[in-house]
Amino acid sequence: KQEVTQIPAALSVPEGENLVLNCSFTDSAIYNLQWFRQDPGKGLTSLLLIQSSQREQTSGRLNASLDKSSGRSTLYIAASQPGDSATYLCAADTGRRALTFGSGTRLQVQP
Amino acid sequence: DTGVSQDPRHKITKRGQNVTFRCDPISEHNRLYWYRQTLGQGPEFLTYFQNEAQLEKSRLLSDRFSAERPKGSFSTLEIQRTEQGDSAMYLCASSGDGANYGYTFGSGTRLTVV
pLDDT digits (tens, 9 = 90+) for B1-50: 579 999 999 999 999 999 999 999 999 899 999 999 999 999 999 999 99
The C-alpha atoms of residue A71 and residue A79 are separated, in whole angstroms, by 27
- For B42, the closest of A41, A42, A89 (CB atoms) is A89
- For A102, the closest chain B residue by CA position comes to B42
The mean of the pLDDT values for chain B is: 92
Nearest to B50 by CA among B67, B30, B35, B69: B30
Report yes or no: B55 at the A interface, CB cutoff 8 Å: yes
Residue B113, classed as helix, strand or coil, is strand
Cα B74 from chain centroid (whole Å): 11
Show residues of chain B in contact with A104, CB under 8 Å: 41-42
Of B53 and B18, the one with more pLDDT: B18
pLDDT at B1 (0 to 100): 54
Determine contact, residues A75/A35, Cβ cutoff 8 Å. yes
The C-alpha atoms of residue B60 and residue B58 are separated, in whole angstroms, by 5
Peptide bond into A8 cis (omega under 30): yes
Determine contact, residues B44/B25, Cβ cutoff 8 Å. no
The C-alpha atoms of residue A34 and residue A91 are separated, in whole angstroms, by 5
Report yes or no: B100 at the A interface, CB cutoff 8 Å: yes
Residues A53-109 have pLDDT tens digits of 999 999 999 999 999 999 999 999 999 999 999 999 999 998 767 899 999 999 999
Determine contact, residues B58/A97, Cβ cutoff 8 Å. no
